Amino acid sequence: MPIGAAGIGNVGLRLFARIATLIGMTGFDANEHLLPFRDGPGYGAILFDRTQVRQPDPQWFDPAYWGDAAQVVGEGGRGGAWFIDFGEGDAFLRHYLRGGLVAKLSHDAHLWRGIQHVRSFAEFRLLRVLRNKKLPVPMPFAAWYRREGLHYRAAILMQRLPDVHSLGALAADEQAPWAAAGELVARFHRTGLDHADLNAHNILFDVAGQGWMIDFDRSRLRIPATAWREANLLRLQRSLRKLAGRHSIARVDAEFGLLRAAYQQAWDRGY
């Protein structure tokens, strides 16, 4: 249940003070608000922008709460994502899942290392920074975590981008805007965005040709450098190869060359 400003008791006050102190250490802008809550043996908090969300509820981050209004997202990733009929415009809900061998032990429980390392909060803040830099990313609504013992679970709720298709899907239909994709990646790199998982599912284009980038979990802002920019591009190329389908690897690489050339031209222009 959410914890209000009054009537929460000594335990609630201590919980609020502890979370607020830890959040304060990491810093956030004046429009960010924090809502701590207790949930049985666990506790957590919701970080949100009050200009976008009036009063979030921890239940929002459970797809079961939305019933038929929650639609599982099929393309890309390991699951744990839903489109939500939010009432005030469509939204996108994503849980932070684990990959690799550890996923066999727990698919969504992460080791608690302090609130400054909560993945949903980090992505929420990064999205806000990128939007302030006028970069085309979804608007974040709220980020959630719930801790119990040594582990926590996390989720984020954000704007759903309407009528978009991934670069991978467009490539399969031979409609990929390679030059626009290269310019888009260069634009993000110019601001210092090192994308932790730049793949063909995370670059989107809408029907008007507007490009978008998504999924910034574990991504960060850095001083632009050749090494990590090159690593991003190689990761994108590998993902396109995996999605080659009926196309030959030689063709995929040739098309990626168009993206790469546009990227370099945009990078050399400096904007």
For the question of residue 197 being annotated catalytic, the response is yes
- Least confident range from 32-36, 88-92, 115-119, 233-237: namely 88-92
Cβ pair 258, 179 in contact under 8 A: yes
* 13 CB neighbour count, 10 Å cutoff: 13
Kind and range of the H or E element at 200?
none
Closest CA to 182 of 247, 241, 236: 236
- What are the C-alpha distances in Å from 19 to residues 31, 46, 201, 233? 17, 11, 35, 38
- Mean residue pLDDT of the chain comes to 88
Q: At residue 182, what is the residue type? A: G
Backbone phi, psi, residue 55, to 5°: -145, 90
d(Cα 65, Cα 82) in Å, to the nearest integer?
Answer: 12
pLDDT digits (tens, 9 = 90+) for 23-42: 444 444 788 999 999 988 99
- Least confident range from 21-25, 59-63, 114-118, 235-239: namely 21-25
Rounded to an integer, the average pLDDT of 138-167 is 96
Q: Which residue has the higher pLDDT, 129 or 104?
A: 129
**What pLDDT score was predicted for residue 90?**
87
Cβ pair 93, 157 in contact under 8 A: yes
CA 225 remoteness from chain centre: 23
Q: pLDDT-derived band of residue 145, with 50, 70 and 90 as boundaries?
A: very high
Cβ pair 235, 196 in contact under 8 A: no
d(Cα 130, Cα 134) in Å, to the nearest integer?
Answer: 7
Is the model's pLDDT at 102 over the cut of 90?
A: no
Kind and range of the H or E element at 246?
none
d(Cα 84, Cα 89) in Å, to the nearest integer?
Answer: 9
Catalytic residue among 39, 85, 108, 197: 197
Tokens describing residue 15 = 């919980």
